[in-house]
Structure 1
Amino acid sequence: MISMRPERMIKLAVKNLGQYKLRAGLTMLGIIFGVCSVVAMLSVGEGANQEIQDKIQKMGSRNILIKSVKVPNEENNSGGQRTMIASYGLTYDDAADLARFVPNLEASIPIKRLRYDVQFKARRLQTDVVATVPAFIRVQNYRMVRGRFLTSADEQFGAPVCVIGTRLARMLFAGFDPLGQTLTIDRDAYTVVGIVGDIAQTELTPQNELWLEGENQSVYVPLRTYLQKRGDLFAQLAEGGSTFEKIELYELILSINTQDNVVRAVDAVRRVLKKNHRKEDYSIVVPLELIRQARETRKLFNIVLGSIAAISLIVGGIGIMNIMLATVSERTREIGIRRALGATRTDIVLQFLMETLILSISGGVIGLVFGALIPLMITAATDVKTVLTFPAFAVAFSVSVTVSVVFGIYPARRAARMDPIEALRHE
């Protein structure tokens, strides 16, 4: 007997499965749920990972962030004085030494960041005031929405100008055009010359009127202007008296020319700061290292999620094996007739494997469809970011087919090893 052509084998497999529609459908459910869970879980994991990496990336992969940290019991008070001055953190000398000794340094951005009451007419709110230099916007990858950012002339002459974030513009200047208006920062007047938005969050209409939740709410002023008006002392009210903090620089951002030179630059930063400070009243954050750690964590996270979801596929494969074993028992006489007519053992194995493949491929395709829909529904219902990726679809589908074939081999081989004579006698 000549072996059947593939198309004939497929038609026969579909016909045989069609005789047991309910059984075939229930068998496919295991594969459907398995594939669906793999795709959905990997999509949720990838979405969470990308959110983390986006936030880290916004800090600048070529940047080194140094912040002043208040060491416990740092207050320099004597006896029962009611007024205390705590002096700690980064200094202007640190900035000068780092600019001199850190290799491949492209820019050094000094920052003072404090919270003040900001007022326009009768509206008042508390927000971050960032005193910095013009290069800040380039290093932080922010973009201008309207107007301009701080300029070297503003910094040189101590101009009383400011740039505000898009969210602050919407909340404080509702009904007014912010540009050219004067706002008050704790009794100091500043003229608004620009509106800045975070590059990863701002979207614009042609009229620049779309301002999203979670946008920039800070005020940016020239560092020299702030020092002329406020200096380095910051007063805080406390029980029993006032507390003054003297912090020259709250933050310092170092931009390195290439990512390859960041690690070397970090070593130089640590050496300089360790030499200049008796106590470790500073912290160093390297976004590039955080990005690499996030990528390693993602790999482990995806392996764990994929392994958990793969259990469903194994359960589905076991279901296919059980159904095919039952099918072999029910079709013993059919197998005997085919063997008597000249079908080889290979023909019998291929016939049952074809039925297994049809079940697994059909269940896999349906599972992929639901696996794509579930993350979309999660995003729509909860605002949790999910990301559908081709590897998730490929892995889920290929594993489902592989598992099904592996679990289908034993029933197929059992059918092929039947003695034709004994099979024909079977009732």
Structure 2
Amino acid sequence: MFFNTIRAVRLALKSLLLHKLRSGLTMLGIVFGVFSVIAMLAIGEGASAQAQAQVRQLGATNIIVVSVKPPADSSSNSSRSSGRGPSVLAYGLLRADYRLLSETIPTITSTIAIREIQSEVRYLQNTINARVVATTTGYKDMNHLEMAEGRFLTDQDEREMANVAVIGSEVAARLFPYESPVGKTILMRSFRFTVVGVTRSRTASAAIGGSMSGQEFNKDVYIPLKTFQTRIGDRVITALSGSFSAEEVQLNQITLQVAETQDVVRTADVVRESLMRNHRGKNDYDVIVPLELLKQAEQIKQIFNIVLGSIAAISLVVGGIGIMNIMLATVTERTREIGIRRALGARQSDIISQFLTETIVLSGTGGLLGVGLGLCTPLAFMGIQWIVENAVLSGSSGTSEISQLFGNMRPQIAFWSLPIAFGISVGIGVIFGIYPARSAARMDPIEALRHE
């Protein structure tokens, strides 16, 4: 049996090599079909892994409460005007919310409050528009920040309301291109802050959900929360096109940490109920639970893989149709050969086996080549990224956002897809090869011998 199989494969290869170009072109449909299945699943896995990593960075045991600016026409907006200045839009989380959540919910083990604004930061003649983040010492561990130089904020800085700052790597590079920032004084909103540390460069986080924007940590300036409240205050006035607008926000974000994962969802429900009573129906905050987002991301990953795999499988079906077309033409060309074989005693099963073997060899070889190409997906994707970053998008608007999103993607080969894609290619060959093989086997031997 083994030797018969080897002989059938050798005969199939000999027949296919008689028409190298035709066999090669037919095989291309299977090659690119298998490659597209592996490549699309790899890209889907990479995108899903990136999204899940962003969610995990927020912490599976964390609950994040963020301030949300109400719509301009919302009746729940709270505006105040003194008659001598711009009206003030007051919204968002309150320090009372922070105290309420940290003191009344027993499952919460730690809390971190954040207030942030955009501000120009200056050192001598150098300036940069940075994100000023007022927070406490726990912010460093929560966002996995590492120090390149100096130290981060301490509890003593918070107690003393010290004018100290920790700056991101890009802020340091722009303001202090030729010297160490530690110990130097920067100017921000007419206040002087002494730089005590510089954070290492780290990848920006993508936007998560509808209420959280992406964060560029390298352009951050960190100061103690109480320092911000006493020096800068809650009210921020912005000048735009000759007019002034003012907003009053006490806290932009409160991050709550729960001891056990199983308590996260239950605690989040308690947080929502507590804030609902405090804010009296105003939709100026949102509660984000990374654990729920992680579960959603895993479900989306499964759906994504099914959709991408199905789309790619269509190209395999097209390749199978090409195989059927070529095999039908081959049967017509080899009608006399079939008649001679039947006259010499070959059975119908022998004819079916002969043509099915040729089809399987054709689709199997294409499948192996497709798997080889699929394994090169990460390298091919890196080449596309290089083209996007250095050629296609050079000088266009929105370059940084697109190149950052595209540049952070890393395809991950789903190794379970390799045998599946190869098996499907062989199966496609068998399915689409049965009809031509049966057509060849059912030929009348005498009519076949008369064929010219």
Q: TM-score range by the shorter chain?
A: 0.7 to 0.9
Q: Which residue does 1:381 correspond to in 2?
A: 387
Q: Give distance in 2, aligned partners of 1:376 and 1:367.
A: 19
Q: Give distance in 2, aligned partners of 1:137 and 1:386.
A: 26
Q: Give distance in 2, aligned partners of 1:201 and 1:281.
A: 26
Q: Which residue does 1:235 correspond to in 2?
A: 237
8 A Cα contact 1:63 1:256, kept in partner: yes
Q: Which residue does 1:221 correspond to in 2?
A: 223
8 A Cα contact 1:69 1:281, kept in partner: yes
The CA deviation at 1:241 is 7.7
Q: Which residue does 1:55 correspond to in 2?
A: 54
Q: Which residue does 1:411 correspond to in 2?
A: 436
In the superposition, relative to structure 1, how do residues 141 and 258 fare at CA in structure 2: closer, same or farther (>3 Å)? farther
In the superposition, relative to structure 1, how do residues 348 and 274 fare at CA in structure 2: closer, same or farther (>3 Å)? same
**Bigger mean CA deviation after superposition, 75-84 or 292-301:** 75-84
The CA deviation at 1:426 is 4.0
The answer as to 2:43 corresponding to 1:33 is: no
Of 421, 425, 431, 1:400 maps to 425
What is the number of residues matched between the two proteins?
Answer: 416
Give the % identical residues.
45
**Bigger mean CA deviation after superposition, 338-347 or 256-265:** 338-347
The answer as to 2:267 corresponding to 1:268 is: no
In the superposition, relative to structure 1, how do residues 82 and 188 fare at CA in structure 2: closer, same or farther (>3 Å)? closer
AA at the equivalent of 2:40:
M
In the superposition, relative to structure 1, how do residues 101 and 401 fare at CA in structure 2: closer, same or farther (>3 Å)? farther
Matches within 5 A, 1:276-355: 276-278=278-280, 279-355=282-358
8 A Cα contact 1:30 1:319, kept in partner: yes
Q: Which residue does 2:113 correspond to in 1?
A: 110
The CA deviation at 1:266 is 1.1
Q: Give distance in 1, aligned partners of 2:338 and 2:294.
A: 60
Of 366, 370, 381, 1:367 maps to 370
Q: Give distance in 2, aligned partners of 1:332 and 1:158.
A: 94
Q: Which residue does 1:210 correspond to in 2?
A: none
Q: Which residue does 1:89 correspond to in 2?
A: 92
**Bigger mean CA deviation after superposition, 405-414 or 48-57:** 48-57
8 A Cα contact 1:103 1:265, kept in partner: no
TM-score (norm: length of structure 2): 0.83
Q: Give distance in 2, aligned partners of 1:391 and 1:376.
A: 22
Q: Give distance in 2, aligned partners of 1:239 and 1:75.
A: 24
Of 244, 254, 260, 1:252 maps to 254
8 A Cα contact 1:111 1:252, kept in partner: yes
8 A Cα contact 1:43 1:375, kept in partner: no
Q: Give distance in 1, aligned partners of 2:311 and 2:79.
A: 55
The CA deviation at 1:199 is 5.0
Unaligned runs of 5+ in 2: 206-215, 390-405
Q: Which residue does 1:211 correspond to in 2?
A: none
**Bigger mean CA deviation after superposition, 286-295 or 111-120:** 286-295
8 A Cα contact 2:64 2:253, kept in partner: yes
8 A Cα contact 2:239 2:245, kept in partner: yes
Q: Which residue does 2:5 correspond to in 1?
A: 6
AA at the equivalent of 1:169:
A
Q: Is the partner of 2:218 in helix, strand or coil?
A: coil
The answer as to 2:220 corresponding to 1:195 is: no
Task: Give the aligned CA root-mean-square deviation in angstroms.
Answer: 2.8
Q: Give distance in 1, aligned partners of 2:423 and 2:82.
A: 74
Unaligned runs of 5+ in 1: 203-213
In the superposition, relative to structure 1, how do residues 180 and 87 fare at CA in structure 2: closer, same or farther (>3 Å)? same
AA at the equivalent of 2:411:
V
Q: Give distance in 2, aligned partners of 1:309 and 1:274.
A: 47
AA at the equivalent of 2:359:
T
Q: Which residue does 1:205 correspond to in 2?
A: none
Q: Is the partner of 2:219 in helix, strand or coil?
A: coil
Of 151, 154, 157, 2:154 maps to 151
The CA deviation at 1:68 is 1.9
Q: Is the partner of 1:275 in helix, strand or coil?
A: helix
Q: Give distance in 1, aligned partners of 2:244 and 2:432.
A: 76
Q: Is the partner of 1:76 in helix, strand or coil?
A: strand
The CA deviation at 1:244 is 4.5
Q: Is the partner of 1:403 in helix, strand or coil?
A: helix
8 A Cα contact 1:105 1:254, kept in partner: yes
AA at the equivalent of 1:251:
Q
**Bigger mean CA deviation after superposition, 231-240 or 184-193:** 231-240
Per-residue CA deviation, residues 251-287 of structure 1 (Å, 9 max, x unaligned), is: 1111222433221121011010011112222122222
Q: Is the partner of 2:296 in helix, strand or coil?
A: helix
8 A Cα contact 2:202 2:217, kept in partner: no
The CA deviation at 1:176 is 1.0
8 A Cα contact 2:356 2:434, kept in partner: yes
Of 108, 131, 143, 1:128 maps to 131
AA at the equivalent of 1:47:
G
8 A Cα contact 1:163 1:196, kept in partner: yes
Q: Give distance in 1, aligned partners of 2:82 and 2:412.
A: 64
8 A Cα contact 1:75 1:84, kept in partner: no
In the superposition, relative to structure 1, how do residues 215 and 266 fare at CA in structure 2: closer, same or farther (>3 Å)? closer
Q: Which residue does 1:209 correspond to in 2?
A: none
